[in-house]
Amino acid sequence: MSVGHALLGLLEGGPRHGYDLKRSYDERFGADRPLAYGQVYSTLARLLKNGFVEVESEPGAGPERKRYAVTDAGVADVAAWLAQPEKPEPYLQSTLYTKVVLALLTGHDADAVLDTQRAEHLRLMRELTRRKDGGDLADQLVCDHALFHLEADLRWLELTAARVQQLAAHVRP
């Protein structure tokens, strides 16, 4: 999971304090793994160093009173992340779910995120299918195992694609 991208995406809604940002992340994506404060601040520090966020300090404020705003470079980084398919691997759905929600929140094409990922999965499935058809029984069984898993991911992608409108209504305030 790319926490940095998720935070940047959330900041596209407007500048926020680190605490706010953590809460918002946990609400949307942290069901089984809320962020630790340390991780929030270390991630923000990295984003700051890379020029993806900037800080609006309030007078006399300590570190926890800093407000973070996403920069143009940060917005571009989120867009690039959304456009890039994930490497197909098990338990991808939480990353993909995050991407779809963030695409909806930031006004990107959520269908495109899903279609790009489908294309990436299919590309690998084609490769495995070729290897399977040319292989012995052991190859076939190994490839089939991977194919069934990728197929399950794809079915989830289809299901999500069919429900994007519903999800949009749900995630947008």
- With helix as H, strand as E and coil as C, how does 88-134 read? CCCCCHHHHHHHHHHHHHHCCCHHHHHHHHHHHHHHHHHHHHHHHHH
Supply 166's token pair.
């519903």
Residue 7 or 157 with smaller CB distance to other proteins: 157
Dist. CA 39–CA 42, nearest whole Å: 5
| Size of interface with other proteins, in residues (CB under 8 A) | 24
Residue 75 or 154 with smaller CB distance to other proteins: 154
Taking residues 126 to 145 in sequence order and writing x for each that binds other proteins by CB under 8 A, - otherwise, the string is x-xx---x------------
Does 150 bind other proteins (CB under 8 A)? Our answer is yes
Taking a C-beta distance cutoff of 8 angstroms, is the pair 57, 12 a contact? no
**Rounded least distance, CB 107 to other proteins, Å:** 19
Taking a C-beta distance cutoff of 8 angstroms, is the pair 105, 5 a contact? no
What residue ranges bind other proteins (CB under 8 A)?
A: 85, 111-112, 115-116, 118-123, 125-126, 128-129, 133, 147, 150-151, 154-155, 158, 161-162
